Amino acid sequence: MKLYPLKFQPILKERLWGGTKLKDVLGKPSESEITGESWELSGVPGDISEVSNGELQGVSLQRLINDYPEELLGKSVVQRFGKEFPILIKFIDAKQDLSIQLHPNDALAKERHNSFGKTEMWYVMDADKEANLIVGFNKDVTKEEYSKSLEDNTLLDLLNYEDVSEGDTFFINTGKIHAIGAGVLLAEIQQTSDVTYRVFDFNRKDKEGNLRELHTEMALDAMDYKKKDDFIVKYPTQSNHVNTMVDCPYFKTNFIEITEDLTQEVTQRDSFTIYMCVGGKVEVTTQAGSAIIEKGETVLVSASTNMITLSGSNAKLLEVTI
């Protein structure tokens, strides 16, 4: 089987805080007024992505991994993760503030949930005027100070707010308290994990009138209480060049702006490659075929690929590998 560049059907998720930008800005097939997430590439059980283009249309990502593990993922990726797809790719539209939350590290997630932890990064694609994100604390706090702020309803006073605009990028390591603010549309790259500890939700109620579950006690031992300035990602933006953004043990992400054809020799990569189009339109061509992606679309290129050519005149891409 020739594993050509694969596109997948988006898995749309309604959220209390969601809006219509995934449909209006990125063209997702949503009829809902509260679509918060588009899962672009997922190996999460119950939400497995399905191919949407070419002769493999309708085939699940998991079946492809089972049938062609090393060809699709790469030998080193299979050695580390077996036949599990190791990252989850999303677009997120926050019409309202998301809950304030954090994610456990690998050890704690394994012990409590038999899951990976959840390290992630955000690339801001669009932001309303004065939109912001919460990332970390604005000072060092103790566990006792934090717990008291929950009792006193003063947690928001301890948090660090970052104003954002298109292109801003943030790395969210495990244990860091965070939230996406209202008016932000972003691309998210994360470990394959759906483990989230929600610690404050602005006292919102769901459509049945219930408060959403909080994970106050579990979060206490998972949280980093130190003020750290390690989350803003500075990266070069040289056109037709692979610009490093994030290089962590769980994924590597590069920024590529295409103004003319760019060909990469990737024989030694030993990893699949994902392209998230965050602006414009580009054609992704390999020895096995090609696919066109526009802003808000994603394509998966197999590890068995030798050369990748990116063709376009006005495109911005996030390139993700392991």
Which H or E element spans position 107? helix 106-113
103 is in an annotated binding site: yes
**Residue boundaries of the structural domains of the chain:** 11-220, 243-321
Pick the CATH number of 243-321 from 3.40.109.10, 2.60.120.10, 3.40.50.300, 1.10.3720.10: 2.60.120.10
Model pLDDT for residues 140-192, shown as the tens digit of each residue: 999 999 999 999 999 999 999 999 999 999 999 999 999 999 999 999 999 99
Question: 123: part of which helix (H) or strand (E)?
Answer: strand 120-127
CA 51 to chain centre: 19
Predicted confidence at residue 80, as pLDDT, reads 95
Q: What pTM value is reported for the model?
A: 0.96
Q: Is 120 annotated as a binding residue?
A: yes
pLDDT digits (tens, 9 = 90+) for 8-32: 999 999 999 999 999 999 999 999 9
Averaged pLDDT for residues 276-297: 98
Instruction: Specify the CATH class of 11-220 in words.
Output: mainly beta
Residues marked active site are found at: 198
Strands, E assignment, 176-314: 178-180, 184-191, 197-200, 243-247, 252-258, 262-265, 273-279, 281-286, 289-294, 298-301, 307-311
